[in-house]
Amino acid sequence: AQSVTQPDIHITVSEGASLELRCNYSYGATPYLFWYVQSPGQGLQLLLKYFSGDTLVQGIKGFEAEFKRSQSSFNLRKPSVHWSDAAEYFCAVGAGTSGSRLTFGEGTQLTVNP
């Protein structure tokens, strides 16, 4: 069975600083990878996804992520964080023949200091 680990429960950065959120997955074949963001009291919104092809994927709100098969990682990055990026971020892996069953990581809470 697939699994996802987000090693950082909480990260604090200053506005304008760069950001990297870590995600490691476990799955025997090529995974389908997603990053979602959740603002307080809201549902989840898709930031970006990786299915195949170019290992560097661009998403909304200036985010990007790089798939590294050798490290089983799919880290999320942003060059300059805005205060509005404060939220919880979830990495997820989709796999198997049962379609879009996703396994989520525990989430990383991002705080942005002014």
Partner 1 sequence: NAGVTQTPKFQVLKTGQSMTLQCAQDMNHNSMYWYRQDPGMGLRLIYYSASEGTTDKGEVPNGYNVSRLNKREFSLRLESAAPSQTSVYFCASSRQGIAEQFFGPGTRLTVL
Binding site for partner 1 (CB under 8 A): 4, 9, 32, 34, 36, 41-46, 49, 51, 90, 94-95, 98-107
Between 1 and 54, whose beta carbon lies closer to partner 1?
1
Between 17 and 46, whose beta carbon lies closer to partner 1?
46
Between 43 and 114, whose beta carbon lies closer to partner 1?
43
DSSP letters of 35-70? EEEE-TT--EEEEEEE-SS-SEEE-GGG-EEEEEGG
Between 15 and 86, whose beta carbon lies closer to partner 1?
86
Residue 61 Cβ, how far from partner 1 at the closest point, in Å?
16
Pairing between β-strand 108-113 and β-strand 10-14 as defined by DSSP bridges: parallel
DSSP count for the chain of H helices, then E strands: 0, 12
Residue 44 Cβ, how far from partner 1 at the closest point, in Å?
4
Residue 85 Cβ, how far from partner 1 at the closest point, in Å?
19
Read off the DSSP letter of residue 15. Answer: T
- Joined together, the tokens standing for residue 45 give 């919104």
Residue 43 Cβ, how far from partner 1 at the closest point, in Å?
4
Pairing between β-strand 32-38 and β-strand 44-50 as defined by DSSP bridges: antiparallel
